[in-house]
Amino acid sequence: QVQLVESGGGLVQAGGSLRLSCAASGRTFSSYAMGWFRQAPGKERDFVATINWNGASTYYADSVKGRFTISRDNAKNTLWLQMNTLKPEDTAVYYCAANPRGTYYNYHLYDYWGQGTQVTVSS
């Protein structure tokens, strides 16, 4: 098992930046592909970005491509999501997730989840 704790959310104006962190503990962090997902009130949980076990492969939702960057440091057991040029439509609870199989877009394929961190972008 792996335990995940997100941090770094907050309130930011449109055009601003935030950096989310996801601290992992438990089994070897490098064994897992990681993903970021987000969920706005009344909406489905949406894929944001995913990264493979060693950081060599990353994939993004079209809505965040060019603005968000996913990265990881296996020595620090930490995953990040750098979010730039934020828009009001980026407002959501952001979750990090882990799975031992691969970089998936489908949240159902992730086994472990953090509790989420709120990101609010004001216009």
Using one digit for the tens of pLDDT, what is the confidence trace for 65-100? 999 999 999 999 999 999 999 999 999 999 999 999
For the stretch 8-29, pLDDT in tens is 999 999 999 999 999 999 779 9
- Could you give the maximum distance between any two Cα atoms of the chain, in Å? 41
Give how far Cα 60 sits from Cα of 28, 70, 88, 105, 122, Å: 24, 9, 19, 9, 23
Instruction: Identify which has the larger pLDDT, 1 or 47.
Output: 47
Whether residue 3 has pLDDT greater than 90: yes
